[in-house]
Amino acid sequence: MTHPISKTGAGWRFDNSYARLPNFFYTKIPLNPVQAPRLAVLNVRLAEALGLDEAALRSDSGIAAFAGNAAPDGAEPLAQAYAGHQFGHLTMLGDGRALLLGEQLSPDGWRYDVQLKGSGRTPYSRGGDGRAALGPMLREYIVSEAMHGLRIPTTRALAVVETGEPVFREDELPGAVLTRIAASHLRVGTFQYAAGAGGADQVRLLADYALQRHFPEVAEGDYRSLLGAVVRRQASLIARWQLAGFVHGVMNTDNMAISGETIDYGPCAFLDVYDPSTVFSSIDAHGRYAYENQPKIAGWNLARFAETLLPLLHDDEERAVGVAEEEIAAFPDLYAADWLSGMRAKLGLPGEAPADESLARDLLEAMAAYKADYTNTFAALTTGATRQTPLFGSDPFARWQDRWKDRVGGTDEAAAAARRRMRDSNPAAIARNHRVEEALEAAVSGDYAVMDRLVDALRNPFEYTPEQAEYAALPDASSGPYRTFCGT
């Protein structure tokens, strides 16, 4: 069935398939205008990819759309309902401070959700004000652009507007609204909501929608293949997180997207010193979402997804459980294969050899023992500049390097060829936590130049430019452990 597509001068081409689902899955609500919206950030590259006109987006009407003051033609603002296991406890949730404006059809034929975040109260706000502070919205912009540059599937920020209104947390802060672009906002928690508040019929509707939107290659009604496809995408995503040293920080089931994109940049951060037990989130007191636990938690979340699909997998409950267990059991091996493939690339290894995993893990063990920086270690291996750190001056590393040289070919020429391969997998620059904080502090004070320079350096982190070199510097040792908060 075809539907009319609304086109506007800005290039908006809305076709809102989610709004055509039963209203069990959402609530349509009016906009919550703000006093004095001002454009803080426009992601011009993303706008162009979406087929949007930069000048129109910068106009008063464009800014009004980003602020939630006026919906573009064709938008159908709604707040989505979902649930989530938050630190292991299931809670009924929903978009408490977000509105889905609709779905943009890009020039290349892809469909993207356009969501306002920080746009005001909804029926799911649970007593909150529905607003967001400027700093966390800019943080999501910075880190999601960094992830995109690292070629990690991610939602992205199209714009951030200052609202001209304060929000009150521990302190009074400037308010903001972020426009988030996503393949969709279907979450594991969306399925949990459908199963818990609706039942098998609602889960079936949602599963059919997910198949049509994200997995058109899967036959209609093949819910086992839906589960398997989501498992594979998550295995790939989490492997990429681990390979980049990224810590999400709040892997609740409402923060796991069916599409396989990284979603929600609250207490996230990147490793400096390689320590598998690293936790950045101020609220993760027991390390549930520590760096080393992310693959295990992903598997746990996928098991919760599988539970919602049981009525669709087989009429006999015992056989349905068996099907689900088989699909979920594939996750560890899929993740391990993706991780090892990525590590081979990071080490420039040609082909595959049985000892490759031990070679990678032995390096990581030495990095942990000598408190080596994760990103800089691989960057130094890539350039050959392995000097002046405790790790590179150690006997364990010297022995490891001899093994690495033997593995890549045993000659200086073979090592140089390996380093050329490594360059495409080892970034020179990441969104280092102290640099992000520096940029946010300046931007909230009105100076966006620091943030702009940082984002420029992060958009192609594999260039190894002189400008990127300054972003490889480590934080001052006296700054203490880095802590992040759920500001987004």
Active site positions, annotated: 254
**Cα 21 to chain centroid, rounded:** 26
- Positions of E strands within 128-260: 132-133, 156-168, 172-182, 246-247
Residue-wise burial string across 130-164, b where 16 or more C-beta atoms lie within 10 A, e elsewhere: bbbbbbbbbbbbbbbbbbbbbebbbbbbbbbbbbe
Q: Are 372 and 394 in contact (CB under 8 A)?
A: no
Q: What is the DSSP string of 10-27?
A: T--EE--SGGGS-GGGEE
Neighbours of 39 (CB within 10 A): 17
Q: Are 95 and 314 in contact (CB under 8 A)?
A: no
The strand pair at 132-133 and 38-42 is best described as unpaired
Q: What is the DSSP string of 25-86?
A: GEEE------SS-EEEEE-HHHHHHTT--HHHHHSHHHHHHHHTSSPPTT---EEE--EEEE
The DSSP code for 106 is P
- Alpha-carbon distances, residue 394 vs 69, 120, 372 (angstroms): 60, 55, 12
Tokens of 124: 């799911």
DSSP β-bridge partners for residue 273:
373
